[in-house]
């Protein structure tokens, strides 16, 4: 479980005999079984978490039990194979994308070296095409004419326990970042295949704790961290104190306040741990500066949604709190904080799953009067869209010199770039809050951005070596700008990034810190009434006072 020394892993990544470094595997992939050993798998979900989720209306999480991937016997239900095949059939009927992605791949290999997991591990089954073949081989065998007649010759493969174990291994070595889908000539989206694999595995009680525990926390307490209402409020109030100590201005905040104009929802990690805390302070400074009439909610205190990494039903159930709370409080619309997968759900699923939100209004910035037509139906605005608009209209007094300690670069998170197209708003904001920032190499940013390596609920410590490997392509790009331009700050708009890139940088590029974009905004804002109470903040909100 311990992470190898930097030199050792560096050598292994670059020279280890792997398909990524040019070595040819001697066995056909179908003949190589998945072998689980400590460090190469995330811990299975705890029995009580699975039981809790299964007890919730609309959710189905059978076969709660104690088990270990290292055991031969995974204690699957007796008719597990039927469950899987019927589950696959059901999903083929529900998702056109799945059918098309099963049928259209020509194995051109354009995706092969686009995956950060493949680049970092060199494991052939981490080529997106092979990850999909893990499922496609079973699909061929049981659902296509050619496969039924020719079997293995046509690339078909019987569903066995070995195949199931392989599914578990490799659907949790994919962060659903969708970089491969940019390069695929048919737009095959491996994320959807990984999602299907994970859904199917849950049908027989195979899931990981790092996802199901936050999901059950979020259902019960409103957030992944399991913060109960009073604790959530305490955490935010600590940050208010900190902001006051640092800047001399105490932000006004409120919780669960009916009649507020706007409901603000961000990932709970932002009020829980560094470096997200500074981003949360940034939000409050920003809203204070413009006098926004907004409220936090303890009930909908999570922007993220680990249901996305579980199954459609869980995603819907967790997401539904946002609209429910917005309706209960009677707000006009919702502003969402910085988060990647949160925004994938909000942009691509929310309205379809839990809309229409006709109790809300089309978002209009109360400060600039700008109507956010792009959010007319969902009624959720991204914080960087909101901030960029404020800056454009000159509504923020910004002093870039307050970020003079920062030489930044910007990391696009997978979801906001490839599932939203939110690329230039954060760059526009960055342009206005720091003097100096540079882009990483062009094949590693914007729609081609590399994942932090630990998304989709893989940010757990027991698989740290895997995370350092899969995050390597990102880290390498950071190293490049650090060496060339002395970059010392990696800005991003994602809560998982803030946590995982910190681990990644600590390992590969310890000189570079990670921050949320709104932290830099918070640093730069000049409050009207700040007076002489403002401390000298050499390191912005991170200054020890």
Partner 1 sequence: MKYALSFLAVIALVLIAWLGSQIPGMPYIFGVAFPYLAIAVFLGGFVYRVVQWAKSPVPFSIQTTCGQAKSLDFIKHNKLEAPHTTAQVVARMALEILTFRSLFRNTHAEMHQGPKITYESSKWLWIFALIFHYSFLLIILRHMRLFLNPVPFWVQWLETLDALFQVGAPTWYMSDVGILIGVGFLFARRLTNVKVRYISLLNDYFPLVLIFTIAITGILMRYFLRTDIDIVNIKQLTVGLAALHPTIGSDIGAIFFIHLFLVCALLVYFPYSKLMHMGGVFMSPTRNMKNNSREVRHLNPWNPRILPHSYAGYEDEFREFMVDAGIPVEKELPPQKDEE
Q: How many CB atoms lie within 10 A of CB 489?
A: 21
What mask, x for binding partner 1 by CB under 8 A, covers residues 100 to 119?
A: xx-xxxxxxxx-xxx----x
Tell me the window of 206-214, 262-270, 343-351, 487-495 that interacts with partner 1 (CB under 8 A). Answer: 343-351
Number of amino acids touching partner 1 (CB under 8 A): 126
What the block records as the tokens of 362 is 């089309």
408-411 β-sheet, strand order: 437-438, 408-411, 489-492, 513-516
The reply on whether position 342 binds partner 1 by CB under 8 A is no
Longest dimension (CA), the chain: 81
| Smallest separation, CB 2 to partner 1 (Å) | 20
| Smallest separation, CB 22 to partner 1 (Å) | 7
Which among 353, 328, 544, 512 has a CA at the least distance from the CA of 438?
512
Tell me the window of 74-82, 97-105, 484-492, 528-536 that interacts with partner 1 (CB under 8 A). Answer: 97-105
Q: Which of 80, 287, 472, 507 binds partner 1 (CB under 8 A)?
A: 472
In the bound state with partner 1, the residue whose beta carbon lies nearer, of 41 and 385, is 385
Residues in Cβ contact with 313 at an 8 Å cutoff, skipping those fewer than 6 apart: 58, 59, 60, 307
The reply on whether position 364 binds partner 1 by CB under 8 A is no
**Residue 135 · residue 167 · CB < 8 Å:** yes
The reply on whether position 444 binds partner 1 by CB under 8 A is yes
Strand 408-411 to strand 333-336: parallel, antiparallel, or no bridges (unpaired)?
Answer: unpaired
Interaction with partner 1 in 49-68: which residues (CB under 8 A)? 56-59
The reply on whether position 19 binds partner 1 by CB under 8 A is yes
Tell me the window of 17-25, 72-80, 397-405, 459-467 that interacts with partner 1 (CB under 8 A). Answer: 17-25
Q: What stretch of H or E contains 349?
A: none
The reply on whether position 402 binds partner 1 by CB under 8 A is no
The reply on whether position 385 binds partner 1 by CB under 8 A is yes
Tell me the window of 33-41, 66-74, 75-83, 124-132 that interacts with partner 1 (CB under 8 A). Answer: 124-132
What is the number of residues in the chain? 545
With H, G, I as helix, E, B as strand and everything else as coil, classify residue 8.
Answer: helix
Q: What stretch of H or E contains 262?
A: strand 262-265
In the bound state with partner 1, the residue whose beta carbon lies nearer, of 2 and 26, is 26
In the bound state with partner 1, the residue whose beta carbon lies nearer, of 378 and 403, is 378
**Residue 100 · residue 161 · CB < 8 Å:** no
**Residue 267 · residue 346 · CB < 8 Å:** no
With H, G, I as helix, E, B as strand and everything else as coil, classify residue 477.
Answer: helix
The reply on whether position 373 binds partner 1 by CB under 8 A is yes
In the bound state with partner 1, the residue whose beta carbon lies nearer, of 235 and 403, is 235
Interaction with partner 1 in 489-518: which residues (CB under 8 A)? none
> 262 has which bridge partners?
294, 333
> 433 has which bridge partners?
none
| Smallest separation, CB 524 to partner 1 (Å) | 19
The reply on whether position 330 binds partner 1 by CB under 8 A is no
In the bound state with partner 1, the residue whose beta carbon lies nearer, of 270 and 425, is 425
What the block records as the tokens of 511 is 């000189």
| Smallest separation, CB 14 to partner 1 (Å) | 3
In the bound state with partner 1, the residue whose beta carbon lies nearer, of 33 and 356, is 356
Please tell me what DSSP assigns to residue 365.
Answer: -
């Amino acid at each position: 479980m311990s992470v190898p020394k930097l030199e050792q892993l560096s050598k292994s990544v670059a020279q280890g005999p792997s398909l990524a470094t040019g070595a040819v595997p001697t066995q056909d992939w179908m003949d190589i079984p998945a072998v689980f050993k400590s460090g190469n798998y995330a811990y299975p979900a705890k029995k009580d978490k699975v039981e809790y989720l299964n007890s919730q209306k609309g959710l189905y999480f059978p076969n709660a039990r104690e088990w270990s991937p290292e055991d031969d016997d995974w204690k699957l239900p007796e008719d597990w194979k039927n469950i899987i095949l019927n589950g696959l059939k059901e999903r083929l009927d529900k998702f056109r994308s799945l059918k098309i992605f099963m049928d259209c791949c020509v194995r051109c290999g354009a995706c092969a070296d686009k995956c950060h997991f493949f680049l970092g591990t060199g494991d052939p089954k981490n080529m997106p095409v092979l990850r999909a073949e893990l499922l496609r081989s079973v699909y061929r065998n049981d659902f296509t004419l050619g496969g039924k007649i020719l079997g293995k010759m046509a690339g078909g493969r019987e569903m066995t326990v070995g195949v199931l174990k392989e599914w578990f291994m490799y659907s949790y070595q994919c962060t659903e970042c969708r970089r491969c889908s940019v390069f695929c000539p048919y737009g095959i989206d491996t994320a959807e295949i990984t999602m299907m694999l994970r859904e199917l595995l849950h049908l027989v009680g195979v899931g990981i704790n790092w996802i199901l525990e936050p999901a059950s926390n979020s259902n019960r307490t409103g957030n992944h961290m399991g913060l109960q209402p009073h604790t959530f409020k305490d955490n935010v109030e600590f940050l208010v104190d900190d902001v006051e100590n640092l800047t001399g201005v105490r932000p006004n905040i409120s919780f669960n306040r009916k009649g507020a104009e706007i409901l603000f929802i961000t990932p709970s990690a932002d009020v829980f741990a560094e470096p997200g805390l500074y981003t949360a302070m940034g939000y409050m400074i920003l809203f204070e500066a413009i006098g926004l009439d907004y409220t936090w909610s303890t009930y909908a205190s999570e922007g993220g949604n680990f249901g996305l990494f579980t199954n459609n039903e869980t995603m819907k159930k967790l997401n539904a709190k946002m609209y429910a709370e917005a309706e209960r409080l009677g707000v006009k619309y919702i502003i969402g904080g910085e988060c990647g997968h949160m925004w994938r759900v909000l942009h691509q699923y929310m309205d379809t799953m839990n809309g229409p939100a006709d109790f809300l209004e089309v978002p209009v910035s109360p400060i600039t009067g700008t109507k956010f037509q792009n959010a007319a139906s969902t009624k959720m605005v991204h914080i960087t869209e909101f901030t960029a608009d404020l800056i454009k209209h000159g509504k923020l007094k910004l002093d870039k010199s307050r970020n003079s300690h920062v030489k930044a670069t910007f990391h696009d998170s997978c979801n906001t770039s490839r599932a939203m197209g939110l690329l230039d708003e954060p760059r526009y904001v960055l342009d206005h809050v720091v003097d100096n920032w540079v882009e990483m190499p062009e094949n590693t940013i914007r729609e081609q951005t590399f994942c932090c390596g630990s998304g989709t609920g893989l940010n757990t410590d027991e698989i740290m070596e895997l995370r350092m490997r899969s995050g390597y392509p990102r880290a390498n790009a950071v190293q490049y700008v650090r060496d060339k331009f002395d970059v010392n700050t990696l800005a991003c708009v994602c809560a998982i990034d803030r946590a995982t890139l910190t681990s990644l940088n600590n390992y590969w590029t310890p000189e570079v810190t990670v921050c949320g974009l709104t932290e830099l905004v918070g640093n730069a804002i000049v409050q009207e009434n700040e007076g002489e109470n403002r401390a000298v903040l050499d390191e912005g909100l991170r200054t020890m006072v």
